[in-house]
Homo-oligomer: A and B are copies of this chain.
Amino acid sequence: MIDEQLSEDERFMRQALTEARKAFEQGEVPVGAVVVWNGRIVGRGHNLVETLSDATAHAEMQAITAAASSVGGKYLAECKLYVTVEPCVMCAGACFWSQLGAVVYGASDPKRGAGRLSPSPFHPKTVVRGGVLQDECEELMTRFFARLRT
Contacts and interface: CB of A to CB of B under 8 A. Distances in A.
In this complex, the member of A54, A72, A93 whose beta carbon has the largest number of chain B beta carbons within 10 angstroms is A93
Given A88-B93, A117-B121, A65 B56 contact: yes
Interface string A35-62: 0000000000000011011111010010
Interface of A: 49-50, 52-56, 58, 61, 64-65, 68-69, 72-76, 88-94, 96-99, 116-119, 121
A116 B121 CA distance: 10
Contacts of A72: 53
Chain multiplicity (copies) = 2
Contact of A68 (B55, B89, B98): B55
7 contacts: A49-B74, A50-B74, A53-B69, A56-B94, A89-B96, A116-B119, A117-B121
Nearest to A121: B89
A76 B91 CA distance: 19
Nearest to A74: B55
A81 to B, nearest CB: 12
Nearest to A122: B89
Contacts of A94: 55-56, 90
A88 B117 CA distance: 14
